[in-house]
């Protein structure tokens, strides 16, 4: 009987040690983003990704999502992840002009025709460069939204019509394009764009289709160019210290969900949602979705040529061969059938 009691006590002590160890190994992560709670990233992308990470970790990783700039402004999200203010962050590299020159290649106009295959091409291409360009965070993956366009208070079909207008650009590349065409760039983040347009601070905006409605911008702009004008690159990053403290199982769970496959899955719901926005706006009373002719498209393409050299100069300053970098991107787009 005494031997049995000792055995039971040993089992109980062992179980207690195991439970304490398991509890000590559990990780609670803060994932910060800056889009509204009803955005597909918050209803689908991030929750699905978090669930996949949790399952892969045996339930020891829990991800809490904080939308709508709760933990900090949109433009600060990269530094928030770097500095450990948050564990994970959704960032727009183009919010900080010149800081991330390599990834900006994908934001050149009339380059990418869709978000899903485009995301596969982007992440596969950028992954080797991320170690240099974003070396002070743990890179997870890069992705795109469905191609956006120009939304304005009047029809704009030619690049020479930009002169004198105030335009809120999606990122630094679009800002450079606006300036190149003689317009003024209004630098505000996506959540601040509606107010800028309502107050007359901006006349037009480059934005994806359905997000125009979600952010309430459809109240201010009624004319929408029907062309895949541009895309915006996004990156999910992780604090290096957070990753370093994880055990082997947890690191594997993160690694399995920080790859090109995961990037495409993360972007898919948002891509479909944005794509549907074109039809929704076309049906809205008072809104006009207008095509541009072949001559106008050629004029836009010609006007965008100098942007390539501006981008190349930034990459050369970063110590890289801009020709090779861009050729690699084009090859990846061709491989994934996502070149415009």
- The secondary structure of 111-129 as a DSSP string is -B--SHHHHHHHHHHHHHH
Residue 38, token pair as written in the block: 């009803």
Give percent above pLDDT 70 in the chain: 93
pLDDT range class, residue 313, cuts 50, 70, 90:
very high
pLDDT range class, residue 18, cuts 50, 70, 90:
very low
Q: What is the DSSP letter of 110?
A: T
Long-range contacts, 42-46 (Cβ 8 Å, 24+): 42/67, 43/269, 44/269, 44/270, 45/266, 45/267, 45/269, 45/270, 46/90
- Compute the CA torsion angle 175, 177, 181, 182 (nearest 10 deg): 20
For residue 286, pLDDT over 50 is answered with: yes
pLDDT digits (tens, 9 = 90+) for 148-196: 999 999 999 999 999 999 999 999 999 999 999 999 999 999 999 999 9
**What's residue 8's pLDDT?**
42
**What's residue 234's pLDDT?**
98
User: Which has more confidence, 5 or 54?
Assistant: 54
Q: Say how far apart CA 18 and CA 14 lie, in whole Å.
A: 6
Q: Which CATH architecture has domain 27-335?
A: 3-Layer(aba) Sandwich (3.40)
Pair 94, 171: CB distance under 8 Å: yes
Other Cβ atoms within 10 Å of 17 Cβ, number:
10
DSSP 123-180: HHHHHHHHHHHTTTSEEEEEEEPSPBEEEESS---SGGGGTT-EEE-SSHHHHHHHHH
Task: Report the chain's mean pLDDT, rounded to a whole number.
Answer: 93
Q: What is the DSSP letter of 34?
A: -
Mean pLDDT of 285-313: 97
Residue with tokens 């934005």: 207
User: Which has more confidence, 10 or 50?
Assistant: 50
Q: Say how far apart CA 281 and CA 323 lie, in whole Å.
A: 39
Model's pTM, two decimal places?
0.90
Long-range contacts, 266-269 (Cβ 8 Å, 24+): 266/45, 266/48, 266/49, 266/141, 266/143, 266/236, 267/45, 267/115, 267/116, 267/119, 267/143, 267/144, 267/145, 268/116, 269/40, 269/43, 269/44, 269/45, 269/48
**What's residue 5's pLDDT?**
53
Residue 141 exposed, middle or buried by CB count within 10 Å (0-12, 13-18, 19+): buried
Locate the domains of the chain by residue range. 27-335
Mean pLDDT of 194-201: 97
For residue 19, pLDDT over 60 is answered with: no
216 by DSSP, 3-state: which? coil
Mean pLDDT of 140-151: 98
pLDDT range class, residue 9, cuts 50, 70, 90:
very low
Q: Say how far apart CA 305 and CA 303 lie, in whole Å.
A: 6
Mean pLDDT of 54-74: 98
Mean pLDDT of 288-309: 96
**What's residue 291's pLDDT?**
97
How far is CA 35 from each of CA 43, 69, 73, 237, rounded to the nearest angstrom?
11, 7, 11, 16
């Amino acid at each position: 009987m005494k031997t049995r009691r000792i055995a039971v006590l040993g089992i109980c002590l062992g179980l207690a040690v195991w439970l304490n160890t398991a509890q000590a190994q559990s990780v609670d992560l803060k994932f910060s983003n800056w889009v509204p709670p009803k955005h597909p990233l918050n209803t689908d992308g991030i929750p699905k990704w978090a669930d996949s990470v949790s399952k892969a970790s045996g339930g020891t990783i829990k991800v809490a999502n904080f939308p709508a700039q709760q933990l900090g402004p949109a433009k600060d999200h990269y530094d928030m992840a770097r500095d450990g203010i948050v564990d994970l962050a959704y960032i727009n590299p183009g919010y900080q002009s010149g800081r991330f020159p390599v990834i900006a290649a994908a934001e050149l106009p009339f380059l990418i025709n869709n978000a899903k295959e485009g995301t596969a091409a982007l992440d596969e291409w950028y992954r080797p460069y991320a170690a240099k360009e974003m070396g002070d965070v743990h890179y997870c993956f890069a992705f795109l939204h469905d191609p956006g366009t120009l939304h304005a208070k009047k029809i704009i079909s030619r690049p020479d019509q930009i002169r004198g207008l105030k335009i809120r650009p999606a990122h630094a590349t679009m800002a450079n394009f606006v300036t190149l065409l003689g317009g003024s760039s209004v630098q505000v983040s996506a959540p601040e764009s509606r107010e800028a347009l309502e107050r007359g601070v901006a006349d037009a905006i480059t934005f994806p289709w359905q997000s125009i409605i979600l952010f309430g911008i459809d109240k201010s702009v009624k004319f929408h160019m029907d062309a895949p004008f541009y895309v915006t690159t996004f990156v999910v990053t992780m604090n290096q210290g957070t990753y370093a403290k994880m055990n082997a199982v947890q690191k594997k769970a993160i690694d399995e969900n920080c790859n090109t496959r995961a990037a495409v899955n993360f972007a898919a719901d948002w891509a479909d949602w944005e794509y549907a926005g074109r039809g929704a706006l076309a049906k809205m009373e008072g809104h006009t979705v207008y095509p541009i002719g072949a001559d106008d498209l050629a004029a836009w393409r010609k006007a965008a040529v100098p942007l390539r050299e501006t981008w190349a100069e930034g990459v050369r300053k970063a110590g890289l061969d801009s020709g090779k970098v861009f050729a690699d991107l084009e090859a990846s787009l061709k491989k994934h059938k996502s070149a415009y």
